[in-house]
Amino acid sequence: SGVAMMKFKSPPVNSLSLEFLTEFSISLEKLENNRACRGVIITSAVPKIFSSGLDITEMCGKSMEHYTEFWRAVQEMWLRLYGSSMVTVAAVNGSSPAGGCLVALSCDYRIMAENPKFSIGLNEAQLGIVAPFWFKDTFVNVVGHRTAECSLQLGSLHPAPEAHRLGLVDELVPEEKLMEKAAAVMAQWLALPDHARQLTKTMMRKAVLDRLVAHREEDIKNFITFISKESIQKSLRKYMEMLKKRK
């Protein structure tokens, strides 16, 4: 059918570790180079969670070299996904904070299970950290400047119905219908001639993609400087302890 299915399966919460990101990027590259593949549906094989976002253990107590390698992998994943020439549909079948939300935002279309217990958002501010400018650019392109400004400053995690109202996700469907709906949306997008659709997508996304490409090394430096601060390391350690206790 020309449609690939990607199921995130890294229990317990599909954290975007260096290994996960690297595999994700390689898979995207392979699909991109496979002329038989025209679209990809991204979903999770882990119940109740789409992806919990960047793996905090990768950002805590590691070397500069590690931070560099990790951040480059985050950038790489986004450049590949947001700039993909394939049709990309996110079937968000669970919560999707921070980097998980970025993955969904980078697709062409977002369908979410209509469970109000599932939430999605760029909640970095809650952890005392700041979403990088290209997370913000991607977000603004989806929900507009005002919603982004408010949501980013509050680090909001929006329950599915609110996310839909804000335009953060395009559609809500009952969880059991999610894959069926994703396939239907994919078919609708694939009905268009690839070449015209791809050029149009590039026209819409190029400015934001180019901005990271032009400032990639600077963005890595900023990340390292920020993440190396003792105050930030402390926040992250505190957050990880809280997560451990929750289990």
Cβ atoms within 10 Å of 11's Cβ, excluding its own: 11
Catalytic residue among 124, 152, 157, 172: 124
Could you tell me the smallest distance in angstroms from the CB atom of residue 11 to a second copy? 29
Indicate if 124 belongs to the active site.
yes
Indicate if 99 belongs to the active site.
yes
Name which of 25 and 156 has its Cβ closer to a second copy.
Answer: 156
- Contact yes or no for 112/92 (Cβ under 8 A): yes
Could you tell me the smallest distance in angstroms from the CB atom of residue 34 to a second copy? 21
d(CA 234, CA 128): 10
3-state secondary structure of 158: strand
Could you tell me the smallest distance in angstroms from the CB atom of residue 125 to a second copy? 4
Catalytic residue among 21, 93, 105, 123: 123
Indicate if 32 belongs to the active site.
no
Give the binding site for a second copy (CB under 8 A): 108-109, 124-131, 133, 136, 140-146, 148-150, 152-155, 167, 170, 188-189, 192-193, 195-197, 199-201, 203-205, 231, 235
Crossing angle between the packed helical segments 133-143 and 64-82, to the nearest 10 degrees: 20
Q: Which of 64, 61, 87, 123 is nearest to 2 (CA)?
A: 87
Q: Which residues are catalytic?
A: 54, 99, 123-124
